[in-house]
Amino acid sequence: MPQAEKEYDVIIIGGGPAGLAAALYTARDRYSTLILEKNGLPGGQIMLTEHVENYPGYQKISGFELVEQMKAQVASFGAETVIGKAANAIRRRDDGKIEVDVNNGELTYVARAIIVCPGSDYRSLDVTGETEMRQATRVSYCATCDGAFYRGKHVLVIGGGNTAAEDTVYLATRFTEKVTMIHRRTEFRAEKVLVEELYAAADEHNIDIKLPYVPTEIVATENGQDIDHVKIQNVETGAIEELNVDGVFIFVGMNPNTAWLQGIVDIDESGYIKADPVTMKTSMPGVFTAGDCRCAAAMQLATATADGVVAAMQLRDYFRDPSSWSGGQCDHSTEGW
Ligand code: NAP
């Protein structure tokens, strides 16, 4: 039986913007608050964003700097953070308190309530050669992280959402000699304004947009260190083309980090936590959620922080009257934002 750590009023699982915003409110309410962060640094996906321009109050700030400010703010009100602690399980005890096992049962933390904010990770395509070329650092899922490696090079972008539209322009205007962009449909999922910006940048910055195309194979050079070419297929004609590119950026969405919660709280078919969108209550009494991991989340920094605030405020009511609980409903799909 793992040793139980100190008890807290609230444990927040995940130290991204949703978790940090929740901690700000619970700590200011003088609830003892612990943030469990599985990585070496809190912050989540926003840490990989070079410029945040759509968070109210900041015209432009890097994700890293914004998280630094959030962390300092949260710590100033007494919230504790432990890093390198991945939650594996949550159990509700007979006395109503909730246990959180971390690092495969290495430790167990106990709290009166939990706010689950594990965020989402990049989705892969599972196309032949993707894993090998990812290991060789020729396949990337983050333009901010890896764009600078492709100065004067030709890269392939795959995807048709906001990330693909924005990051194609980002790559083409800052680094690359050419970007070929493919998307599996003739219509983009991305917002109209971003699609307009994409087409506006296409001529001047050598962006070749090919619709509807899918990749079928990423073929390595003989030594396995580089990409020789990528095979792409026209979805309408079936014709295969070979593209000589130096790198591939895959922007096909996110996977919520909720596999460990299967069978513990209700989760939808895409892996998002079912939660009442007004209260952030999951199907397990005392367990709230917030951020990109929840069903119907808008996947925005501002909405993730808003979720965290809502969960923290609902916690007050829960502590006042733990007996009534209604959660775990979500009628909306996360897809389609
Ligand atoms: P997304 O909106 O889910 O788009 C994923 C794209 O990848 C879609 O175009 C999808 O095609 C394509 N795709 C998915 N699986 C594929 C496969 N197996 N093969 C080929 N293509 C595939 O993901 P996202 O662009 O990363 O955005 C995630 C969320 O963040 C969204 O809610 C988005 O609005 C938000 N976001 C917002 C901003 C902003 O506001 N500035 C910037 C970036 C992201 P289909 O369209 O055919 O499904």
Mean pLDDT for the stretch of residues 327-336: 71
The residue nearest atom 21 of ligand 1, judged by CA position, is 159
Give the DSSP H or E segment for 329.
none
Q: What are phi and psi of 193, to 5 degrees?
A: -65, -35
pLDDT tens string 188-198 = 999 999 999 99
Asked if 102 and 86 touch (Cβ cutoff 8 Å), the reply is yes
Give the angle subtended at the CA of 324 by the CAs of 320 and 325, to the nearest 5°. 110
Mean pLDDT for the stretch of residues 214-218: 98
> Residue 48 has what pLDDT?
67
> Which residues contact residue 283 at a Cβ distance below 8 angstroms, ignoring those fewer than 6 apart?
265, 266, 274, 327, 328
Top-confidence residue, 88 or 254: 88
> If you measure from the C-alpha of residue 252 to the centroid of ligand 1, how many angstroms do you get, rounded to a whole number?
5
CATH architecture observed for domain 3-121+254-324 = 3-Layer(bba) Sandwich (3.50)
> Residue 337 has what pLDDT?
47
Atom of ligand 1 nearest to the CA of 160: 9
Mean pLDDT for the stretch of residues 249-264: 95
Distance of CA 79 to the CA centre of its chain: 23
Residue 161 CB–ligand 1 contact under 6 Å: yes
Report CA dihedral (119, 125, 131, 133) to the nearest 10 degrees: -110
> Residue 332 has what pLDDT?
67
> Residue 6 has what pLDDT?
76
Residue 162 CB–ligand 1 contact under 6 Å: yes
Any idea which residue has 């060789």 for tokens?
Answer: 136
Strands (E), the chain: 4-13, 33-37, 80-83, 87-92, 98-102, 107-116, 120-122, 139-140, 154-158, 178-182, 207-210, 213-220, 227-234, 240-243, 247-250, 254-256, 287-289
Query: If pLDDT is split at 50, 70 and 90, which confidence band does 261 have?
Result: very high
pLDDT tens string 30-45 = 999 999 999 888 888 7
Give the DSSP H or E segment for 148.
none
Query: If pLDDT is split at 50, 70 and 90, which confidence band does 213 have?
Result: very high
Residue 314 CB–ligand 1 contact under 6 Å: no
> If you measure from the C-alpha of residue 335 to the centroid of ligand 1, how many angstroms do you get, rounded to a whole number?
9
The residue nearest atom 48 of ligand 1, judged by CA position, is 189
pLDDT tens string 145-188 = 688 889 999 999 999 999 999 999 999 999 999 999 999 999 99
The residue nearest atom 43 of ligand 1, judged by CA position, is 163
Residue 284's alpha-carbon distances to 8, 71, 220, 324, in angstroms, are 18, 28, 48, 12
Any idea which residue has 């290495």 for tokens?
Answer: 106
pTM: 0.73
pLDDT of residue 51 exceeding 80:
no
Q: What is the DSSP letter of 274?
A: P
> Which residues contact residue 164 at a Cβ distance below 8 angstroms, ignoring those fewer than 6 apart?
157, 158, 181, 183, 190, 251, 252
The Cα 178–Cα 184 span in angstroms is: 20
Mean pLDDT for the stretch of residues 195-214: 97
Residue 299 CB–ligand 1 contact under 6 Å: yes
Residue 195 CB–ligand 1 contact under 6 Å: no
> Residue 50 has what pLDDT?
66
> Residue 172 has what pLDDT?
98
pLDDT tens string 11-32 = 999 999 999 999 999 999 999 9
Handedness of CA 24, 98, 270, 39 (dihedral sign): positive
pLDDT tens string 68-93 = 999 999 999 999 999 999 999 999 99
Q: What is the mean pLDDT of the chain?
A: 93
The residue nearest atom 37 of ligand 1, judged by CA position, is 162
The residue nearest atom 13 of ligand 1, judged by CA position, is 252
Residue of 54, 299, 307 to test ligand 1 pocket, by largest number of atoms within 8 Å of CB: 299
pLDDT tens string 99-151 = 999 999 899 999 999 999 999 888 999 999 999 998 888 998 888 768 888 99
Residue 164 CB–ligand 1 contact under 6 Å: yes
Residue 75 CB–ligand 1 contact under 6 Å: no
Give the DSSP H or E segment for 312.
helix 301-320
Domains 3-121+254-324 and 124-250 share a fold: yes
The pairing of beta strand 107-116 with beta strand 247-250? unpaired
Atom of ligand 1 nearest to the CA of 335: 3
- Catalytic sites, residue numbers: 142, 145-146
Q: What is the DSSP letter of 236?
A: T
Where are the domains positioned within the chain? 3-121+254-324, 124-250
pLDDT of residue 336 exceeding 50:
no
> Residue 44 has what pLDDT?
85
Asked if 234 and 206 touch (Cβ cutoff 8 Å), the reply is no
> If you measure from the C-alpha of residue 189 to the centroid of ligand 1, how many angstroms do you get, rounded to a whole number?
7
Nearest to 116 by CA among 256, 288, 261, 259: 288
Q: Which two tokens stand for residue 274?
A: 């079912």
CATH architecture observed for domain 124-250 = 3-Layer(bba) Sandwich (3.50)
Any idea which residue has 């003739």 for tokens?
Answer: 186
Residue of 162, 185, 233, 335 to test ligand 1 pocket, by largest number of atoms within 8 Å of CB: 162
Residue of 139, 169, 184 to test ligand 1 pocket, by largest number of atoms within 8 Å of CB: 184
Asked if 61 and 55 touch (Cβ cutoff 8 Å), the reply is yes
The Cα 240–Cα 229 span in angstroms is: 12
